[in-house]
A and B are shown apart, each in its own frame.
Chain A
């Protein structure tokens, strides 16, 4: 091998080794080291032509398109960082104390990464439009007659970011001061907390994407309610599952108007700054109105308490819907013991007991509520048609403030016979000596199946009057058998005095410890014993009723009818005898208005109804509508009849000791002008004596 060859070979070797070393060191493909883009800001050279306020003034009916080269600027106050605000940007005209703000709809998400809060933004309006969208002004792109979002790919034609990046100071306002001009501004509400009904809830829902409104309440210095606003939380926000904070403090948000209602949108939960203890309204509320004052206010017509009233009623819960017998109402009485009365409040809520238990002391704020009488009891609620309806689910807790103090309510013990004269409606009573009437024994509270409500009759042996117990068909015990024994029942009393009803909270309210008694049938022996038509005074006409039996008779539901001049139907409005009672062997006088001065005696009932002038029929009817006693023949004019008592009287013969539903002239002794035996008052009459 020659030297030349060796040299060539050496050269080749050098090339090879150079390559080997070169490969190990050298890297010629650049796939990881890139120069970092320099993120600098170039201020756009744009001249603002109009203020936001001026632009808003250009809005008219429908959609107004900008055809001029208008340019506005503003500071971004909204942010979609949490997903609560979606595809809109709100800008206002100053970082502090703004005078106008507007919302711009764009078809883009994650706008906060480009237009963060505080960034000044120029908007070229040419080609865009302004118009109302769900109650508030919005800038967007007109499609026909509606405002739509600006397509993301057209944004660069309209949006120009300034390099100015400022701190936005939210505008401090009271909820009550909020007005149209403030929509889309960043506002701060101080001294606010979530309404008590919202406590325990999350901003929206963890397991679905429904949006929720949460009521924020603004309070006065001493925790009094001032006003409220909805905090609107999107079901797509990343804080949708977070619990609402319980404290009190400040909420910052973008004001929005949804049709006629204002709502606040937070950018993220850092906008809710609750640093103080929650204020419980109840501790600052004082009762201002008593039951008797309320009763006084009720004049038979719907009472409107108005907006500015400060009526607060203090009461104690006596009803319970645990077993479903009471539903959609709360009954409160005005004292723990010996109440003077109570109210029932209608609420649209299924599980009231979770918030109001029996014995809870509550304060009822009547401001903005209404009162009427339903089923004989004073009822509070929202107006509904001519009367009262339920307070809505969302609102009732704002009116019924639970102090969370709980007391044992002692029911008032009463007997059936005294019940009708005591006005204990809407209070808790304990009626002793009750049992089912004989032909209801064996029945269920309602029926053995189904959800129809029903009433059962209860009685006390030896007392003619009865009381009904009402059971809701949806109560858990409604299909159970009604206990057969005898004892006391605790419940809430309601209904007219003429027809009282009781409603129990649960089965423990029925204490039937004694065996069922076979009550002797009490036959009322109330009879007409004297009918007077004195010749000398038409206003001293009277009718005397007599209890021939041995029991006190409570005349609840009884009526006295008259039939004038041979009428076939009852004349006028009959006299209701409810509230009256006759002791055994005693009398009751129902008289016209002149009776007292003529006889110098006070009749039991004074009424102009007693006008019988000799040819008219009187009829006594019991609570069941059965005729108990009658004088004269219904449908026959007594003129010329043997029972005519014109200018005279009819007296029951002493030997008659029972009423008779069939008129029998032989039981009577009749005096009249026709018979020549005129009678004058007072000497010829003897009311109250037989």
Chain B
């Protein structure tokens, strides 16, 4: 199971990284989103994996580590706020620079 999880994290981070290196705002947004997914999973597994051990008192004899879950929840929220801001910033860029290049249309290599 850990292998699958590691692979998932690797894939998410990897594809996220690739997308953040693109030249247009939209793929960069996607990249940041994927990256944060991967990172959230990473933080989540820092409490190790456990199946059917919901961290609710009385619901499981050996509950999973609740702290990383709380951290990830916070991280998800913050990540959401950041993504939202980035999206709107991209729109702003489109509005002010009439261009969705991350360098505001400077003719850098795109992609």
- A and B bind: no
A positions within 8 Å CB-CB of B: none
